Amino acid sequence: MSVCFTGLRSAFVTAIGAAMTAACAQTDPVTLSETDGAQIEGARWHHVHINTVDAAASAGYYDKFFDADAASFSGADAAVKSGDSWILFEEVETAAPTDLITPIWHIGFGATNPQAEERRQIELGNTIQSPLRELVGGVTGYKPGEFYFMYVQSPDGTLIELNTAPTDQFGHIHLYSANPFAAAAWYCRYFGV
């Protein structure tokens, strides 16, 4: 699966984050995936394309700040690999707008120790868009100390979430949808996620 986007802005990260988390938490992925099964066996996010005015610098950014290693990928101006997923950079002449005008809200990496990761990001000089926050209760059911998230912004304007996860690798893409429940059901049905 390929997802292309041109840049993101996070003016209202907290409000949308809570709404998206609530929407996802209300979808019953166990029932959907067990009932229908993945229609495409072994499906996963393979890559994300990011348009940027400096592909090499963008790849260097991900290599520096995340569990992503610079690598070559046929047809991409630059690339990084994180786990089994790729982030591919295409060099363009004009910087992409950072208005929220695409279905992509943000991409995300895991953080096995969110508090230490926030300190590391600050020490490395990353642009913190939204400091580390804890998500507790509500429809998520998280107990205190279980789940944390924060947002950083890349030099090309991509909004990147770091959240509690079992690995530090690339882990997710958040999408906007007119009907998040139907969209979640579609992904569960066809991809088993």
Q: Does residue 16 lie within any of the structural domains?
A: no
Amino acid at 57: A
Q: Report the percent of the chain where pLDDT is more than 70.
A: 76
Report the alpha-carbon distance of residue 98 to residue 9 in Å, rounded.
5
CATH for 69: 3.10.180.10
Parent domain of 83 = 2-8+21-191
Q: Does residue 104 lie within any of the structural domains?
A: yes
Report the alpha-carbon distance of residue 101 to residue 92 in Å, rounded.
18
Interval 129-166: pLDDT, tens:
999 999 998 878 888 999 999 999 999 889 999 999 99
Q: Residue 4's closest CA among 46, 54, 41?
A: 46
The chain-wide mean pLDDT, for the chain, equals: 80
Q: Does residue 141 lie within any of the structural domains?
A: yes
Domain count, the chain: 1
Residue 76 confidence (pLDDT): 95
DSSP-based three-state secondary structure for 109:
strand
pTM over 0.85: no
- Give me the helices (H) in the chain, please: 13-26, 29-36, 55-65, 114-124, 180-191
Interval 77-124: pLDDT, tens:
999 999 999 999 999 999 878 787 888 889 999 999 999 999 999 999
